[in-house]
Structure 1
Amino acid sequence: MKTCDNTSVGALIFDQQGRLLVFDRNTDPPGVAGPAGHVDDHGGPMDAVCTEVFEEVGLTVMSAELVTGGWHPNQCRRLPGPRGVGHQWQIFRVEVAGELNPSTRETRNARWADRVELQSLTHRTIDYACGWLAYEEFRARPGIEPVWLPTLVAVGLVDVAPEQMALFKELIARPLPQGDRA
């Protein structure tokens, strides 16, 4: 099993109507997210975001601008890295070209989500964070992947009350159920 490099990138891709490209993750941790991945698999952050976008949704990055980031104690499927469990995230807003061609290995249900859908998915994650949904229920019909919520709040796509953000921080740091790291 690989060791985590504690660095990740993510991509925000918008269509002409301002909708965000998201998909249900086919790998753990569960959730609705945008393209993302570890930096060490691809060289530097820019190489990583370009490669992840192409691998996960089949689009070519034409330009990318860093919009937000920060440390999140989210567990991945790898062994903990030199900084322990977590990742230094860099989130890019990217312009893309090509036809959407999602990976069936990493994604399912790729779609363009408007703010109403994103907020609804956020409420589903709140239910999960509060313990009102079991892990398997969330995995079967996910809300926003918890580590993506701070990004969506930071760029103004969803609204979350301060007390709910505290729940998400706890949820981000929650270990994956045993057997789901492979």
Structure 2
Amino acid sequence: MKSCDNTSVGVIITDHQGRYLMFDRATFPVGAAPAAGHFDNHGGAEAAGRAEVKEELGLTVTSLTRVTGGWRDNSCRRRPGARGTGTGHNWTVYQATVTGDLTPSARETKNVRWIAPAALQELADRTVAYAQGRVTDAEFEAAPGLEPVWMQWLADIAAIKVSTDELLQVELLAR
């Protein structure tokens, strides 16, 4: 098992209709999310972003624009690394344009789909309900909302609407 490098990149992809390319994670953590992963040996955030989109979705990034990021206390399935923690990552989040044929990784993704902004909000609302105990672990695993760490990033770019209190509740899930 790899060690956590405590750095993560996320790549938000939208189409000309304003829909978001999302998928359910096939591995921990549970939830719908855009392409994301550790920097690892990619040489930095931009190279890691391009690599994750290629690895998870089979698409080629043609442009990247940094839209948000920062430290998040989100859990990691990897063993603790040099910083001595498996919890927390310094994130860089991009908006990307892509080209190519969508060929999702069966190992990392399931239920890959383009979703309208209203459907993205519904996923966010489900994650809030989960954080508030109105959706059980089993129910969330069977029909997940957004991966908790993505709630802040999508709120930052006004892709979803969520209150500060709701974000704090969801933050506890991410840990």
Same fold (TM over 0.5): yes
| Corresponding position of 2:54 | 54
Matched, 1:64 2:56: no
C-alpha deviation, 1:134, in angstroms: 2.1
Residues 6 and 83, structure 1, Cα contact 8 Å, conserved in 2: no
- Per the normalisation by structure 2, the TM-score is 0.95
1:123, CA displacement in angstroms? Answer: 1.0
Q: Does 1:73 align with 2:84?
A: no
Q: CA deviation at 1:43?
A: 2.4
Mark the runs of 5 or more structure 2 residues left unpaired by the alignment: none
CA distance in 1, matches of 2:54, 2:173: 29
Q: What displacement does 1:74 show?
A: 0.5
Count of residues in correspondence between the two structures? 173
Separation in 2 of the partners of 1:140 and 1:79?
26
Equivalence for 1:176? none
- DSSP 3-state at the match of 1:147: helix
> Structure 2 CA distance, aligned partners of 1:14 and 1:27?
23
Q: Where does the alignment leave 5 or more consecutive residues of structure 1 unmatched?
A: 174-182
Identify the structure with the greater strand proportion.
2
The match for 1:136 is 138
Percent sequence identity over aligned pairs: 49
Is 1:166 equivalent to 2:171 in the alignment? Answer: no
Q: 1:178 corresponds to which residue?
A: none
The alpha-carbon deviation at position 22 of structure 1 amounts to 0.3
Q: Which amino acid aligns with 1:35?
A: A
Q: Are the aligned partners of 1:69 and 1:89 in contact in 2 as well (CA < 8 Å)?
A: yes
- Within 5 A, what are the aligned runs for 1:4-153? 4-81=4-81, 82=83, 84=85, 85-153=87-155
Q: How big is the alpha-carbon RMSD for the aligned residues of Structure 1 and Structure 2?
A: 1.1
C-alpha distance in 1, partners of 2:46/2:92?
A: 10
The 3-state SS of whatever aligns with 2:75 is coil
Q: For residue 19 of structure 1, report the CA deviation from its aligned partner.
A: 0.8
TM-score (norm 1): 0.91
Structure 1 residue 3 displacement after superposition = 1.4
User: 1:103 corresponds to which letter in structure 2?
Assistant: S
